[in-house]
Amino acid sequence: MPDKSKITSLAVLRGVAVIAVCFCHLAKPVSKGTILPDLFHWVGEYGQYGVHIFFVISGFVIPFSLYKAKYEIIDYFRFLYKRLLRLHPPYLVALAITLIISAASYRYRHLPNPETAVTIVKSLFYAHAPSDNPVFWTLRIEAEYYIFMGAFFVLISKFPKMAIVIGLPLLLVASQTPIINYIGLLNYIVFFLIGTIGYMIYISKKMPLFEMITLAVLITFSFIYYEFPACIAATATVLIILYYRRPVHTILEFPGEISYSVYLIHFPIGIKIINMLQPRMSPSSYWILFFVGTTVCVTLGWMFWKFIEKPSAALSNNVKYGKARTTFKNFSLKD
């Protein structure tokens, strides 16, 4: 019987997701070169669906971590506090790095800086994503998900059938209404729910036929209303989580371990490196910039993880839920 507290595929999936997103952004500027332009264009086009992998992982892992920690609604604000300690300090450092790099770039090019005191303050609370680091928009979606799941978890734990029969249809209908302009989570809720139903299947002690049917419905919904690659990414992610139980080599876990750090800083650093060097190179050599940018981003991401993210994770792990009997490490975009 496999150890259900050890989900070996998660780190690999996080690594795949962050590499896909990183490749997406760094491949686009080099797709104008003369070497394999179609390949780089393809990577730039489809790498964006790494975000959907992250959403499914969060949809699975957050309720799973709450389940292991014996979470109750009384722990709601403690849960949000743990999330804040875990993810917000690295984000603030990445935001500062982004603003410094972008300010220097606009000054060097004698261009007006689009960021103002108002947008910077809004960025502190995920209400604005700087143009020089657009990936920050997903952090607002994740934050909204934590606020939602902290309450919804109690419902799916105590009244799972009611939560599925009543709650899921309401959420799916809302995802197709203008309310998504105000609550961004709803626009991607189906991908989080795919992960959440996957969690319910994973912890079930018998054949969860009802949940399996629900998962099929959610996948079908994502196929009908969202891009086909997003549906494929979500489906593959939840199936790998559920059915791949073999050990994973630590080398394969490394990209997943540093995925949040790489995700936060890869755009302003990688894109700026490519933009600086591209005018000095011939189009036939642009492909080199892709690998240089990726290498620098991964290296700096590892340093960011070691000196910024790990201390934040330690602070978060020190916060315990009131009735938790065991310590369980939380997960997220990178937990």
Is 219 inside any structural domain? Answer: yes
How far is 152 from 163, CA to CA, in rounded Å?
Answer: 8
Helices (H) and strands (E) in the chain, counts: 15, 0
Is 90 exceeded by the pLDDT of residue 42?
yes
Is 175 inside any structural domain? Answer: yes
What tokens were used for 239?
Answer: 């199936």
- Per residue in 95-110, pLDDT (tens digit) is 999 999 999 999 999 9
How many domains, the chain? 1
Helices 76-108, 259-277: inter-axial angle, 10-degree rounding: 10
pLDDT at 323: 62
Calculate the average pLDDT of the chain.
93
Is 65 inside any structural domain? Answer: yes
The 3-state DSSP class for residue 37 equals helix
pLDDT at 335: 54
Is 324 inside any structural domain? Answer: no
Contacts for 40 with CB less than 8 Å, ≥ 6 apart? 27, 28, 30, 31, 33, 287, 290
How far is 290 from 271, CA to CA, in rounded Å?
Answer: 9
- Per residue in 143-153, pLDDT (tens digit) is 999 999 999 99
User: What average pLDDT score do residues 19-48 get?
Assistant: 95
pLDDT at 321: 87
Is 125 inside any structural domain? Answer: yes
pLDDT at 5: 52
- 130 with 115: CB under 8 angstroms? yes
Domain encompassing residue 118:
9-317
Q: How confident is the model at residue 248 (pLDDT cuts 50, 70, 90)?
A: confident
- Per residue in 81-136, pLDDT (tens digit) is 999 999 999 999 999 999 999 999 999 999 999 999 999 999 999 999 999 999 99
Is 335 inside any structural domain? Answer: no
Is 60 exceeded by the pLDDT of residue 251?
yes
Length in residues, the chain: 335
- Per residue in 161-186, pLDDT (tens digit) is 999 999 999 999 999 999 999 999 99
Is 15 inside any structural domain? Answer: yes
Q: How confident is the model at residue 245 (pLDDT cuts 50, 70, 90)?
A: confident
Is 266 inside any structural domain? Answer: yes
249-256 own/partner pairs: CB under 8 Å, 24+ apart: 252/11, 252/12, 252/15, 253/11, 253/12, 253/15, 254/15, 255/11, 255/14, 255/15, 255/16, 255/18, 255/19, 255/298, 256/10, 256/11, 256/12, 256/13, 256/14, 256/15, 256/18, 256/334
pLDDT more than 70, % of the chain: 94
Cα separations in angstroms, 70 against 60, 64, 218: 16, 10, 27
How far is 17 from 110, CA to CA, in rounded Å?
Answer: 36
Nearest to 126 by CA among 160, 172, 92: 92
How far is 209 from 201, CA to CA, in rounded Å?
Answer: 9
